[in-house]
Structure 1
Amino acid sequence: MKEVNDIDFLSVKEQFMDLDLKSNKNKLIALSILLTQNNISLNVKCLIDRDFDGILTEIQNDPHILYTDYSCMESYLCSINHIGKILKLGIRNFPHNTELVIKEVSKVAYIFFIVRLINEHFQFKCSYPKVESSLQVDKKTGICNISIDNYLNNFIAINKLFKYKTEILDFLKEITNKLPADMRFNMNGHDFVCILFHYINKIKNTVNYKYENFERTFYLSIQPNHLDEYELFKKITT
């Protein structure tokens, strides 16, 4: 497996003016197009996150592209097996069960995903309210107190988007009816890991608990055999 950053796209930059080649995903899309255009039949597959493809933009139809089954690679890890392992081995005496943790973290990740959709659709290129200040967790029940209305209002306020509010709300109403019920289609990978970290930390309240260490644990805890059931990994291994 090769990293896309190892490839120099400078010589073909003009050919892909419509793609932001600072994005690794767009670099992979450009690479797949080049392979197809030049009839290069190497057994090369470009793995890319689904993100908003199929919602805001069309799915890229190219033989060299393999999409994640859900919105991102981390969606595969939004599972009882994976999160349960982290809570059991990495977090001592965590007071809430795995099912509740996944439900609450996914609920928050969905709200963040919706606002990312809005940001992308309107091409605002705006910043987001910080996770730690947006996330309120009841330590006793494990329930997150957050709503799309409050988070969206904060997003609008910090970026001074008040004049777009009516358009934003119209788009919100339109787009939420089109999203799949399965939360794994509706999350950003970085958001999910970050929300999970702050959720756990707000309940355990451990001063020395660092995000970098948690992130490392999150990915090192992957059990490959738990991924075999998914279509993407079946394609990779055949």
Structure 2
Amino acid sequence: MTYYSRAKTGLRPTRGATALNPADVEGIALHWPAMSGRAHTVAGVQALLRGWQNHHMDTNDWSDIAYQEAIDQAGNVYELRGLGVRSGANGDADVNRRFGALLLVVGPGEQPTAALTAATRERIAAHRARFPKSRRIVGHGQIRPGGTQCPGPAVQGLIGAGSFNPQPAQPAKPARKPSRGRLVDAVIPKLAKARRRSARTDNKPRTRKLTRALTWLRKIKEA
């Protein structure tokens, strides 16, 4: 996954931005562009994004391109308004206040790739890190007043299947403690060596203690 800033994509400066309030945000909405062709290169996607920004700003008289980020079929991510800025894509001020907006650059007849799906999960995880109360992942049509076909049946099907849900972090497995048998096996040779050394120096009290310890450990091992 490569992240392309607004500057790298060549977007125009925004005419204004409103920050999302973490207390209000309950989810994120997925969109598609309903474009007539397909984009298979970074340069092609960036050209489309500049065109959509021009349309949103010059024709719709919006402050910026409507979405927060875009994700292409290669799993590349493009900064648009930014995750922390209220979108203009979801339908009205209320749903824009309550939901983020990611644009999935999926062409007609295309199925979202594994790379796009994985990058979308990662960006939803980043969104949730900013907005801890956000838990819903919805298609645009689920929240837009009046409805819409966006984000199309393929993306909507993946939403229903939970494919965009971020994976919970797996807790680290605790280190395995050596078993009693393994500990005994490790200690016996050391005690035996110490007893031989003690016997050579004619240290009878120490030799007797080491002999008793070895006998006890061997009984534990055999038990």
Question: Which category of TM-score, normalised to the shorter sequence, fits these structures?
Answer: under 0.3
| Max Rg structure | 2
Higher helix fraction (1 or 2) = 1
Q: What TM-score, normalized to structure 1?
A: 0.24
TM-score normalised by L of structure 2: 0.25
